[in-house]
Amino acid sequence: MSIQSITHVEFHCTDAGLAAARLGADYGFTVEPGVPQPDGLRTVRLRQGSIRLHFHSATDPAHPVARYAARHGDGVAVIALGCTDPRASLERAERHGAVVLDRAGGLVAGFGDVALRFVPQPDRAAAVAAAGAPAAGPATAPTPADALLEALDHAAICVPAGELAPAVRFCEAALGLHRIFGEYIEVGEQAMDSSVVQSASGEVTFTLIEPDTARRPGQIDTFLADHDGAGVQHLAFRTGDIATAVRAGRARGVEFLSTPGAYYDALAERLGGTAIPVGTLRELDVLVDQDHGGQLFQIFARSTHPRRTFFLELIERQGAGTFGTANIKALYEAVERQRAAASV
């Protein structure tokens, strides 16, 4: 399959400049040079490491960008997939039921109003092998020396109850992704089901989540109601130094979700040693878990979205390739505490 990576993510906003400025200032992104746009459409592009974020807004309320923002609020509207053969990828998706929204633009319907865009990306591994040169990291524009975020680790997408299994089948058949992980999470009287799908390259990862409507309504139900349908709940940015990244974010004014002290009291018994000292994790409210490959460290930022339907995550992987088990529940509980506090 030719899908290699997520080349960029497109946000549809009421004010692209304001949305980009806020996120850029909070997380240290650099503004890329502007490109000409059709009349009435504004685009601001941010970059850091291999992460590319495009913010669009439109003055015409009938424009698709404006309609998306009016219905869902600012949010991720398009995920661009880098492909060695975008046309073949689109044709495969169409054969397996994807609705083509813009053939010339390589755009198909994905999850609710979140679209997928197939864009060119050379198969760098094959090119390097053919040239006999040593492999290097992804080709990116220069970033500031103090840049802390390296790549887009995954996108978490909420779907209505009953749509998780069809969404996984769509990812497998239409996109060539593979299911690598699944977890049913219970928090009190609430519950959700999740599956993780990933490309063969390991660079495209979607965490798909649906609520269990047989249980008491919870945060996934709230997201679907407030967002008005399926959508991207959060993006996770990968970093090589989560402690420094969290401290830098806090210094810029980012608020991260807290974790009860009891979580850290149990770490030694649950995991043994941790690559980052437990005292540092406790100080920063960073979560830790492990799988067969190693450890991973995660934290959620407090949502600043007016509808509380979108937020960001920071993640550091030290060998771990999945998401652990305990962290998923702990992260769910952290978001639930924020939701409960906001409703008081």
Pairing of strands 178-187, 190-198: antiparallel
| Backbone phi, psi, residue 64, to 5° | -55, -35
How many residues can be counted in the chain? 344
Cβ atoms of 257 and 300 closer than 8 Å? yes
CATH number at residue 9: 3.10.180.10
Give the residue-averaged pLDDT of 280-290.
Answer: 95
| Backbone phi, psi, residue 190, to 5° | -100, 160
Q: Give the pLDDT band (50/70/90) at residue 135.
A: very low
Residues 236 and 125 in one domain: no
Name which residue leads in pLDDT, 141 or 16: 16
| 332 found inside a domain | yes
- Of 80-94, 196-210, 266-280, 304-318, least confident by mean pLDDT is 266-280
Residues 86 and 163 in one domain: no
Name which residue leads in pLDDT, 42 or 126: 42
Residues 169 and 244 in one domain: yes
Boundary residue ending a domain (98, 131, 164)? 131
Nearest to 298 by CA among 308, 284, 309: 284
| 251 found inside a domain | yes
R_g over Cα of the chain: 20
| 136 found inside a domain | no
Bridge partners, 42 (sequence order): 57
Cβ atoms of 156 and 209 closer than 8 Å? yes
Boundary residue ending a domain (131, 161, 190)? 131
Give the residue-averaged pLDDT of 249-273.
Answer: 91
Q: Give the pLDDT band (50/70/90) at residue 325.
A: low
Cβ atoms of 161 and 211 closer than 8 Å? yes
| pLDDT above 80 for 122 | no
Alpha-carbon gap, residue 120 to 84, rounded angstroms: 6
| Model pLDDT, residue 130 | 42
Q: Give the pLDDT band (50/70/90) at residue 37.
A: confident
Residues 160 and 296 in one domain: yes
Residues 115 and 193 in one domain: no
| pLDDT above 60 for 262 | yes
| pLDDT above 80 for 3 | yes
| 137 found inside a domain | no
| pLDDT above 90 for 99 | yes
Residues 97 and 185 in one domain: no
Give the residue-averaged pLDDT of 249-264.
Answer: 93
Q: Give the pLDDT band (50/70/90) at residue 272.
A: confident
Conformational region of residue 216, where left means phi above 0, alpha means psi within -120 to 50, and beta covers everything else? beta
| pLDDT above 70 for 185 | yes
**Total Cβ atoms within 10 A of residue 36:** 5
| Backbone phi, psi, residue 125, to 5° | -65, -45
| 118 found inside a domain | yes
Give the residue-averaged pLDDT of 8-35.
Answer: 93
Burial of 48 (0-12, 13-18, 19+ CB in 10 A): buried
**Total Cβ atoms within 10 A of residue 285:** 17
* pLDDT tens column, 151-169: 999 999 999 999 999 999 9
Residues 113 and 156 in one domain: no
Cα 202 from chain centroid? 14
Dihedral of CA atoms 301, 227, 328, 51 in degrees, nearest 10, equals -60
Burial of 184 (0-12, 13-18, 19+ CB in 10 A): exposed
Domains identified in the chain, total number = 2
User: What type of residue sits at position 273?
Assistant: G
| 140 found inside a domain | no
| Model pLDDT, residue 134 | 40
Residue 68 sits in which domain range? Answer: 3-131
Conformational region of residue 162, where left means phi above 0, alpha means psi within -120 to 50, and beta covers everything else? left
Q: Give the pLDDT band (50/70/90) at residue 127.
A: very low
**CA torsion sign, 108 to 169 to 112 to 343?**
negative
Can you give the pTM of this predicted structure? 0.89
| Model pLDDT, residue 11 | 98
Q: Give the pLDDT band (50/70/90) at residue 147.
A: confident
Residues 73 and 216 in one domain: no
**CA torsion sign, 307 to 308 to 309 to 313?**
positive
Average pLDDT of every residue of the chain:
89
| 141 found inside a domain | no
| Model pLDDT, residue 124 | 52
| Model pLDDT, residue 326 | 67
Cβ atoms of 219 and 309 closer than 8 Å? no
Provide the CB-side half-sphere exposure for 272 (13 A, CA). 3
Residues 122 and 171 in one domain: no
Name which residue leads in pLDDT, 32 or 230: 230
Residues 288 and 252 in one domain: yes
- Cα distances from 111 to residues 142, 226, 285, in angstroms, run 33, 16, 32
- Reduce the DSSP state of residue 117 to 3 states and report it: strand
| Model pLDDT, residue 72 | 98
Give the residue-averaged pLDDT of 279-290.
Answer: 95
| 139 found inside a domain | no
| pLDDT above 80 for 62 | yes
Give the residue-averaged pLDDT of 315-330.
Answer: 81
Residues 227 and 302 in one domain: yes
Bridge partners, 111 (sequence order): 114
Residues 39 and 68 in one domain: yes
- Reduce the DSSP state of residue 228 to 3 states and report it: coil
